[in-house]
Structure 1
Amino acid sequence: MIHNLRVAERTHFARALYENQTNANYFNLVVNSTNSHFNSETGSHMLGAQVKVGSDKANKDAIGITNLLFGIQQLGKARDKNKRFRQLTPSQSGNKQ
């Protein structure tokens, strides 16, 4: 599950990078901005708003991907239950009069 989430995140960010022609990987923005904070207090103040916006977006993307994968997993489980239920249910076609 964790591996699938990482693959989905990489695919999502790569697609966003391709479609927007901008760096959509906000995790890198957070890391770079954090380094600026250690190097310069002024830099951290200037980049603080960008870090917050970027990390919020990245968190929402990660949560959305997790919810999507969880939903797909739940749909698969529901289909399995329906298949088992249908197998246990007697056929109605033989009872027609």
Structure 2
Amino acid sequence: MKQISSLEKSKTNLATAASISLGIVGLLFIAGSVMIAVGNPKLQLVSVIISIPGFVMVIMANFVYAKLVQLKECKIRPLVDKKMNEIYEICDKGKKLLL
């Protein structure tokens, strides 16, 4: 059961790290664009251009998370099913011993 639990937890590890990283980089772009706009109002067009990829990265973080979890789920599901079948066989043998 611990193996199944660890397999279930492992499917979100990479996805969480990737989506958080993407979100942080996006926020850095947004913060940079704000600093440019505040520091020099003449560069507002540059600020807008820099903020667009930041917003896209922040929004894409959610989609990246979902896609990575889905891909990992496809890899892990056969392993979990195999472990569940092993547990079922052990329980079935135990039931036969009791009867």
**What TM-score do you get using the length of structure 1 for normalisation?**
0.46
Q: Which has the higher helix share?
A: 2
Higher relative contact order (CA 8 A, sep 6+): 2
TM-score, structure 2 normalization? 0.46
